[in-house]
Amino acid sequence: MNHTYSSRANTQAASLFTTYIVAYLGLIPFMGGLTVLAISEDAQPGLLVFCSYSTALTTFLAGSLWQPQNSNPALSITSTLLVVLAVGALFLSLTRPVLGLILLAICVYSTFFAERFAGRSPAYVRMRGRLTTSVLLLHALAIYLVLQL
């Protein structure tokens, strides 16, 4: 019996570790987009990478609010609204990059805020808080770089 419990605990720890690694690796595309934005004479490719990834990440996380155990209709409506706003922000970023980045940052924060009501574990919420803060700082840096053009 102890061996089964130990094995299950090891599996859960490995799963949590994998989740953390994948989550933090998710910052790399943001940094790649920022790097291109900072060093390229044409800001569009870096901005497109950054905003596209921000949209993809926001829509993925907003979609995760749709879970069978989640019977809260407000979360379902919020999820749908965040997806629509994030896609709209991506299109807006093509002509008004600063406004698009600001709206994407609002979507990133709003997704994190909504997840806090979705019954996530305290460890997950702490991790997402750190990641959301990092992503918001990267959005602020992207806005700064766009304004320098």
pLDDT in tens, 45-74: 999 999 999 999 999 999 888 766 666 788
Secondary structure class of 41 (helix, strand, coil):
coil
CA distance 105 to 56: 13
CA distance 92 to 80: 18
| For residue 29, pLDDT beyond 90 | yes
Chain mean position to CA 85: 14
Buried b (16+ CB within 10 A) or exposed e, 70-95: eeeeebeebbeebbebbeebbebbee
Secondary structure class of 72 (helix, strand, coil):
coil
pTM of the model: 0.87
pLDDT in tens, 72-93: 788 888 999 999 999 999 999 9
Percent of the chain residues past pLDDT 90, beyond the cut: 65
Residue-level pLDDT at 141 = 97
For residue 128, which of 82, 60, 66, 69 has the smallest C-alpha distance? 60
Buried b (16+ CB within 10 A) or exposed e, 126-140: ebbeebbeebbebbe
